[in-house]
């Protein structure tokens, strides 16, 4: 290969063969800071993993609450240090299992939860005061969080002991994932009501996990992932500030969720740049005084879009490299994908191997002994600086276009992601980007042993329908009507919706019933999202 050829990162940042001090801006080096100090480029804690490892949180959920509970207890027995709940499409879209539009989807891509009783079964024999729980739920985040809080109250667990995260980031659904229900106005109100309620009642709980993961999965570049995520974060910040809350009352409970893609060094630099950007947004733009408000904490997940059905065993290597880059980038919580996820629901064996991948990095590689071990590398610092610079350019463009909501409504963000996805696919097809086993080193042999793939029994949907109908038959109809009426009136006015939704959950209203009241008041976005 000619020395004159200028290579690029996966996101299009041009790369030289070697880097030296003169490639770095003097002001950037001056403001690099130490770990645990503003702008947190080198990490959110002075000693990082020397005192506490990242949370090993394996994303799981399928079928009914009973089946998922068994998987969670299996993971806990094998050393996972946090739970991460995946919900099925009906739950994500506010539909009970017995709704006509739920047919064929109950329990397929996550667990079916429609009531506080389902939540109780999901966490059977799991102490909520001792475990950190993440719930990947957005349009119905307020409802699932209410079920969780109601369950904690029934178990006499103090709410200030609850630790975990609810994703609660619906803005990214409009541009990357599609699982939204309400128009942006109702969505922002719900999200910020949850943030405000949590600030007062569950101080150890992350009330939102602003997600770049799905933006990246939809085809964005690393720079776009940061830019669009932080533009969403600014929208949430400003909407919450309009409620009269001081930024230092709630900003420390805002967390982030990023993708870990395959460009090893670019991903490390991305995480370092993300901390710098968030620190500057909160302190310089919104006047945060508490350092915790400016310290970006993030969960990461290895990139599902990089997993291949062809030669699926290669995914173990991909996931290992991606997980290592997340650790070197300073992650607080990590999920490692299983090798067979491009084929179907992961088996227990592949889930265990994915968890062991994190454990081997943590306990055998010794990479946790030094804080920000690649900090000071001319190459890493160049990439960190360049990603930050390019992200600020995007953020300024979004601001000039009227902010994130306007950019979503105009289709600008969606178009940017689609264009990047198209260009990425073209490079794969031309072999500019090589994918081992897909467009190079292909194995065309016919005598292959089929891989074991887990499947959801159709009987689980029938079981879920029977359960929700039995639940409805045993409760007080008058009580349910009363709590739903209170929610309806509160939604029409300006009352705190999270408190009213919690009241409805405790009154035994179902997810579908609560969602229907909110649909009635807020309307729905478009035809009706999802499926």
Question: What global pTM score does this model have?
Answer: 0.94
pLDDT for 3 beyond 80: no
Rounded Cα distance between 206 and 202, Å, is 9
β-bridge pairing 298-302 and 132-136: unpaired
**Worst-scoring range by mean pLDDT, 20-29, 274-283, 361-370?**
20-29
Token digits of residue 217? 């999965």
CA angle 520, 112, 215 (to 5 degrees): 75
Evaluate whether residue 490 is within a structural domain.
no
Write down the pLDDT at residue 469: 97
Would you say residue 457 lies in a domain? no
Residue at 403 is within a domain:
yes
Query: Is residue 84 in a domain?
Result: yes
Residue 448 lies in a domain: no
Average pLDDT, the chain: 94
Domain membership of residue 255 as a residue range: 7-11+26-429
Cβ-defined contacts of 517-522 (< 8 Å, 24+): 517/484, 517/487, 517/488, 517/491, 518/94, 518/181, 518/182, 518/186, 518/190, 518/487, 518/491, 519/94, 519/181, 519/182, 520/488, 521/186, 521/488, 521/491, 521/492, 522/182, 522/183, 522/185, 522/186, 522/491
Chain centroid to Cα 38, Å, comes to 24
For residue 531, give the 3-state DSSP assignment: coil
From CA 375, how far away is CA 41, in angstroms rounded? Answer: 9
pLDDT of res. 530? 45
Residue 280 lies in a domain: yes
Overall number of domains in the chain: 1
- pLDDT tens figures, 220-258: 999 999 999 999 999 999 999 999 999 999 999 999 999
Eight-state DSSP code of residue 281: I
Q: CA neighbours within 13 Å on the CB side: how many for 102?
A: 27
- Residue 205's nearest CA partner among 257, 292, 145, 150 is 145
Lowest pLDDT segment from 80-84, 406-410, 416-420, 517-521: 80-84
Token pair belonging to 9: 């990162």
CATH number at residue 39: 3.20.20.240
> DSSP letters of 462-497?
HHHHHHHHHHHHTS-HHHHHHHHHHHHHHHHTT--H
Partners of 205 in beta bridges: 164
CA 438 to chain centre: 28
Q: How much is the pLDDT for 1?
A: 41
In a domain, 346, yes or no: yes
Confidence at 447, pLDDT banded by 50, 70, 90? low
Mean pLDDT of 207-222: 97
Flag whether 454 is in a domain. Answer: no
């Amino acid at each position: 290969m000619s020395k004159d050829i200028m290579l690029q990162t996966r996101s299009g940042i041009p790369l030289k063969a070697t880097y030296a001090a003169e490639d770095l801006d003097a002001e950037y080096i001056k403001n690099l800071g130490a770990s645990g100090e503003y702008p947190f480029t080198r990490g959110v804690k002075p000693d990082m993993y020397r005192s506490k490892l990242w949370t090993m949180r394996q994303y799981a959920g399928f079928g009914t609450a009973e089946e998922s509970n068994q998987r969670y207890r299996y993971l806990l027995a094998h050393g996972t240090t946090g739970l991460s709940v995946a919900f099925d499409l009906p739950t994500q879209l506010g539909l009970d299992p017995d709704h006509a539009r739920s047919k064929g989807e109950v329990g397929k891509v996550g667990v079916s939860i429609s009531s506080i009783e389902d939540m109780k079964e999901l966490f059977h024999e799991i102490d909520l005061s001792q475990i950190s729980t993440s719930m990947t739920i957005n349009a119905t985040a307020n409802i699932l969080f209410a079920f969780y809080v109601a369950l904690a109250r029934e178990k006499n667990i103090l709410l200030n002991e609850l630790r975990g995260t609810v994703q609660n980031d619906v803005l990214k659904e409009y541009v990357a994932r599609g699982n939204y229900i309400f128009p942006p106005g109702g969505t922002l109100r719900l999200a910020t009501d949850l943030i405000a309620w949590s600030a007062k009642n569950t101080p150890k709980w992350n009330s939102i996990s602003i997600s770049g993961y799905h933006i990246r999965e939809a085809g964005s570049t690393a720079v776009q992932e940061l830019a669009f995520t932080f533009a969403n974060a600014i929208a949430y910040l400003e909407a919450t500030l309009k409620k009269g809350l001081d930024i230092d009352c709630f900003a420390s409970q805002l967390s982030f969720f990023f993708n870990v893609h395959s460009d090893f060094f670019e991903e490390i630099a991305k995480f370092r740049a993300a901390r710098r950007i968030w620190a500057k947004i909160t302190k310089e733009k919104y006047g945060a005084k508490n350092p915790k408000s400016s310290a970006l904490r993030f969960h990461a997940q290895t990139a599902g879009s990089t997993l291949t059905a062809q030669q699926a065993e290669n995914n173990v290597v991909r996931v290992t490299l991606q997980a290592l880059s997340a650790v070197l980038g300073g992650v607080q919580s990590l999920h490692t994908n299983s090798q067979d996820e491009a084929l179907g629901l992961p088996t227990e064996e592949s889930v265990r191997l994915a968890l062991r991948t994190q454990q081997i990095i943590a306990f055998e590689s010794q990479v946790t002994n030094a804080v920000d071990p690649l900090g000071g590398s001319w190459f890493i610092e160049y990439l960190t600086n360049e990603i930050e610079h390019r992200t600020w350019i995007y953020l300024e463009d979004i601001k000039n276009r009227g902010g994130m909501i306007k950019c979503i409504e105009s289709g600008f963000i969606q178009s940017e992601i689609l264009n990047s996805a198209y260009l990425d696919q073209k490079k794969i097809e031309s072999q500019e980007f090589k994918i081992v086993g897909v467009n190079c080193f292909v194995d065309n042999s016919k005598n292959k042993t089929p891989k074991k793939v887990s499947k959801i029994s159709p009987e689980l949907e029938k079981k879920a329908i029977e359960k929700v109908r039995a639940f409805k038959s045993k409760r007080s109809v008058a009580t349910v009507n009363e709590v739903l009426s209170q929610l309806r009136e509160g939604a029409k006015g300006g009352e705190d919706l999270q408190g009213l939704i919690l009241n409805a959950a405790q009154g035994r209203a179902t997810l579908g019933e609560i969602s229907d009241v909110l649909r009635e008041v807020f309307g729905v976005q478009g035809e009706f999202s999802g499926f």
